[in-house]
Structure 1
Amino acid sequence: MTGPDPEPTSAVVDPAPAPVEAASAPVEPAPAPVEPAPAAVEPAPASLPAETTAKQPLHRGAESKPYNDILHRTLKPPVRVLLNRLVMRIRLEGVENIPRDEPLIFAGNHSSWLDGPLVVIEAPRTVRCLTKVEMYKGVLGWLLRLVGQIPIDRGKADRVALHTALDELGRGKAIGVFPEGTRGSGEMAAVQHGIAYLAVHGRCRVLPVACLDTGDALPKGARWPKRSVQVRVVFGAPFAVEIPANPRSRKALAAVAEDIRVHLADHLATARASETV
């Protein structure tokens, strides 16, 4: 009896699913029109990153963390007063040339250790300078990181430093570069191509800075600046570079770097010519 019982039962049950399948057959087209809906929604997320990345720097690499410049905004005014009135004799010129609300590269000549700190302290906006990695030792290294300076290894193409600088420009901030690469005569006879890379890929203007007589105020080997020497920090008018058709071409970037060098050398010569006794 056990064997025969299932057969009639299954015979009765089998037809039941058949009508259900038949009933569901007309329902199947209903999901079909729903399926294209997600397909139509998919392009929306795809377009969102495009809009977002349009506001970011045009470079590859992980985005660096934004720098909190509260120390600059709170400490720079008193430090500037202390430096300019008690420690050194500094004359500022062209401060009105500095835009406050756009990405900007401060580019200066380099003849003394004072040049970088002067640009950072005297500029009316936060400036993060690319600073050689050799400086990041002990208390000085801790202080440089605290105030947001960007370490760069000049012995290689330091992509981390360049991408950090580009991230900063992408946020509408300012960075400082001394494109001669090292301390020297400060005559702008040659500049490194890194500044061209930053100006082209950061899509920003360059503001020339002439730091005059800093080498006399703090000669090599000296530990304290001479107050008897007056130092001039002259901010020029910002200028835009021409974006090459192939922004990754070394030859094109070399041409941009030379154009920047000419602008900086002209500003340096003009600043020296305007000096009054």
Structure 2
Amino acid sequence: MTSEQSVEPESSSEETAKPRHAGFAYTLGRSLITPLARLVYRPRIEGRENVPLDGPVIFASNHLSFIDSIAIPVAAPRPVHFLAKSSYFEGTGFQGWMSKTFFESIGAIPVRRGAGQAALDALDLQRQLLDEGLAVALYPEGTRSTDGRLYKGRTGVAFLALQTGAPVVPVGLIGTDKVMPVGAKVPTLKERITVRFGEPLDLSPHGPATSGRARRLATDEIMAAIHALSGQELAGIYNEAPAQSTIEKIKQALPHERR
């Protein structure tokens, strides 16, 4: 694919520095899917030089489409892991095998989604990946934006960065919602996307991970960097499903930390 900055072939050092989680499917996906996706979708990739090539790093991105989790690994100059619903890995028959193989090939790691303990388990898994010196991709908004606006960030990404000391590389994705809108079965080949990597953020000056104020300030810095890259309209609110009960409405109205 072409880009506003030339996309050089991966160097041998990058190709051999495979994470411990890499198996045959990941190796195959890294060597085949990445160049194929670049050839077909011709993404504009900016700021690849901002990405540290080794050590732990958190990619914090806006979230517009299902293919965001493909666009980032395809554009990044190093392997990237992200969490995906465990149901993608648990299917049976040929279709189940295809789904599992595909998600493994793009660096996905299965996790059970949900609040409470499930959310804590997911956060702990991401911390383990960072402790191993790997790169993970996360969406501070929590879920996809269906109207194209950039929503307020939840503090989980900042907590992870402050806890591990990993730098945060902000990512601005543009056009992925046009290539594959919410609800679409397959992506279109008529549109191009842009992937912008910003300069790494050191969030440690905000304070420790145990401080709610530090987490909030760090999150706001991350979201400001993403906004500068994506140019989206700011929603000014959290991206969450409408409350279904009176109690849920009260909980959403009360000030509390979204994680």
TM-score normalised over the length of structure 1: 0.65
Q: CA separation in 1, counterparts of 2:124 and 2:105?
A: 19
Give the direction of change, closer, same or farther, for the CA distance of 1:137–1:179 in structure 2 (3 Å limit). Answer: farther
One of 76, 79, 82 as aligned partner of 2:30: 76
Give the direction of change, closer, same or farther, for the CA distance of 1:147–1:69 in structure 2 (3 Å limit). Answer: farther
- Tell me which structure has the larger Cα radius of gyration: 1
Q: Is contact 1:111-1:183 (8 Å) kept?
A: yes
Give the direction of change, closer, same or farther, for the CA distance of 1:147–1:113 in structure 2 (3 Å limit). Answer: closer
Q: Which amino acid aligns with 1:170?
A: D
- Aligned pairs for 1:1-277 (under 5 A) are 66-68=20-22, 71-86=25-40, 88-133=41-86, 135-138=88-91, 139=96, 140-141=99-100, 143-145=102-104, 148-150=107-109, 151-157=111-117, 158-184=119-145, 185-242=147-204, 244-269=206-231
Q: CA separation in 2, counterparts of 1:181 and 1:260?
A: 14
Q: Is contact 2:198-2:225 (8 Å) kept?
A: no
Moved more, 185-194 or 195-204: 185-194
Q: Is contact 2:57-2:136 (8 Å) kept?
A: yes
TM-score normalised over the length of structure 2: 0.70
Q: CA separation in 2, counterparts of 1:186 and 1:168?
A: 30
1:130 Cα deviation from its structure 2 partner: 2.6
Q: Is contact 1:120-1:126 (8 Å) kept?
A: yes
1:227 Cα deviation from its structure 2 partner: 1.2
1:109 Cα deviation from its structure 2 partner: 0.7
1:215 Cα deviation from its structure 2 partner: 0.6
User: Residue deviations 1:248-275, cap 9 Å, x none?
Assistant: 23343223222221222122239xxxxx
Which stretches of structure 1, 4 residues or longer, exceed 6 Å deviation after superposition? none
Give the direction of change, closer, same or farther, for the CA distance of 1:72–1:238 in structure 2 (3 Å limit). Answer: farther
5+ residue gaps in structure 2? 1-18, 233-259
Q: Is contact 1:112-1:214 (8 Å) kept?
A: yes
Q: Is contact 2:26-2:107 (8 Å) kept?
A: no
Return the structure number with greater helix share.
1
Give the direction of change, closer, same or farther, for the CA distance of 1:186–1:250 in structure 2 (3 Å limit). Answer: farther
1:98 Cα deviation from its structure 2 partner: 1.2
Q: Which amino acid aligns with 1:230?
A: R
Q: Which amino acid aligns with 2:216?
A: A
1:103 Cα deviation from its structure 2 partner: 0.8
1:137 Cα deviation from its structure 2 partner: 4.7
The SS at the match of 1:82 is helix
Over the matched positions of the two proteins, sequence identity in percent amounts to 27
Tell me which residue corresponds to 1:43. Answer: none
Q: CA separation in 1, counterparts of 2:39 and 2:101?
A: 26
Query: CA RMSD, aligned part only?
Result: 2.6
